């Protein structure tokens, strides 16, 4: 994700860039680890999160999920550090 100036962001909703970044973090990590949404659903089960692969797919693609869900996904995929930008 390329850096955008604050002026560039004035044209979009205030959280849009962060929602895009959150989705990008989850999806890029899944690609790096060769994980499907079904795999991620299984990994999340060990954290007590029971959602179907379809539910997770929709949630991620809509870019409407909580910070808690983001952190749970990253933890389930054993991500230790996250680049914010």
Per-residue confidence of the chain (85 residues) as pLDDT tens digits?
A: 556 666 665 677 888 999 999 999 999 999 999 999 999 999 999 999 999 999 999 999 999 899 999 999 999 999 999 888 7
Q: At what angle do helices 67-76 and 16-32 cross, to 10 degrees?
A: 10
pTM, 2 dp: 0.81
Of 34, 83, 30, 85, the C-alpha closest to 61 is 30
Is residue 51 left, alpha or beta, with left meaning phi > 0 and alpha meaning psi from -120 to 50? beta
CB 22 within 8 A of CB 63: yes
């Amino acid at each position: 994700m390329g850096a955008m100036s604050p002026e560039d962001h004035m044209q979009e909703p205030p959280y849009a860039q962060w929602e895009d970044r959150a989705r990008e973090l989850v999806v890029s990590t899944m690609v790096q680890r060769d994980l499907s949404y079904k795999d991620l659903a299984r990994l999340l089960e060990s954290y007590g999160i029971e959602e179907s692969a379809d539910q997770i797919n929709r949630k991620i693609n809509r870019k409407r999920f909580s910070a808690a869900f983001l952190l749970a996904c990253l933890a389930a995929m054993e991500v230790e550090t996250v680049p914010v930008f």
